Amino acid sequence: MPRFKNYLSLIKFSHTLFALPFAMIGFFLGIFGTKIIHESGSPGLGLLLIRFVLVLICMVTARSAAMAFNRYLDRNFDARNPRTAIREIPRGIIAPNSALRFVIICCAIFMITCWFINPLCFYLSPVALFVILFYSYTKRFTPLCHLILGLGLSLAPIGAFLAVTGHFESLPLLFSGAVICWVSGFDIIYAMQDVDFDKSENLFSIPVAVGKKKALWISGWLHVLSAAFVIAAGLVGGFGGWYWVGILLFSGMLIYQHMIVKPNDVSRVNLAFMTANGIASVVFAFFAIADIYITHKHW
């Protein structure tokens, strides 16, 4: 029977770092950026702490389901690709059926957890699962697969905000727009590693469709749009100085990853993909949440 650590490796648990900080922005924006704590019948601090834990469970299980499903669906491609042949399913460490059962369990936990949060989150949970699972099929028929991945991760700040407030507002949507462009941009960079293999297997990606040079250009403009979204969120939300410091650092990490990856040199893609983007999301979330507490709290 596969060990638990093998499943953590299968889903690249450390990559949860990408979307989780933006989910935390949505969560704390829901608490301190609204008058929810002062409203009649609003959740108390104890219930908010429980919801925080429930949001974490939703984030982990949704992303785990999406990643494991991607590994399950792409197992034959992964086995033929020298870069991915060392993954758990091609190596026989985890059986395909075991991976699929893991996906089903994660989806079930996700939906049950959403039921405990509030009715709106529960009703929207199948939609969220459809988006994040459907992504794994898109590379088979469209080079826009990167945008679908971005869309899936962009649900994090909206979902976390809904978990607290139970209703939609425009500000979390701006953060979601930032996530779509940010994730799509760095996924394009990541896909540059597999251009030759993807062509041989008739798989789609923007680097395959337009070449590495133009793909980097598209990625760059997506990251410009991502920065524009967080700037717009800062203006709409009336954020203070801490937030703008976070934007400068976030933008700096986006620029850095485009400086170290070149069309003819993808040797540092992993540095750009994991290190730069992990730092970007965590640092930005830290300053954004600090500013939300200092500037927006209604205690």
What are the pLDDT digits (tens) for 73-125? 999 999 999 999 999 999 999 999 999 999 999 999 999 999 999 999 999 99
- Number of domains forming the structure of the chain: 1
Can you read off the two tokens belonging to residue 266? 């993808």
Q: Is residue 40 scored above 50 in pLDDT?
A: no
What are the pLDDT digits (tens) for 212-247? 999 999 999 999 999 999 999 999 988 999 999 999
3 close to 268: Cβ distance less than 8 angstroms: no
Q: What is the pLDDT of residue 296?
A: 60
The CATH number of residue 129's host domain is 1.10.357.140
Question: What is the SS3 assignment for 262?
Answer: strand
pLDDT band at 15 (very low <50, low <70, confident <90, very high): low
Q: Cα separation of 240 and 263, whole Å?
A: 38
- Can you give the residue range of the structural domain that contains 200? 4-296
Contacts of 234 (CB under 8 A, 6+ apart): 243, 244, 247
pTM beyond 0.85, yes or no: yes
Can you read off the two tokens belonging to residue 191? 């896909």
What are the pLDDT digits (tens) for 181-206? 999 999 999 999 999 999 999 999 99
Q: What is the pLDDT of residue 138?
A: 97
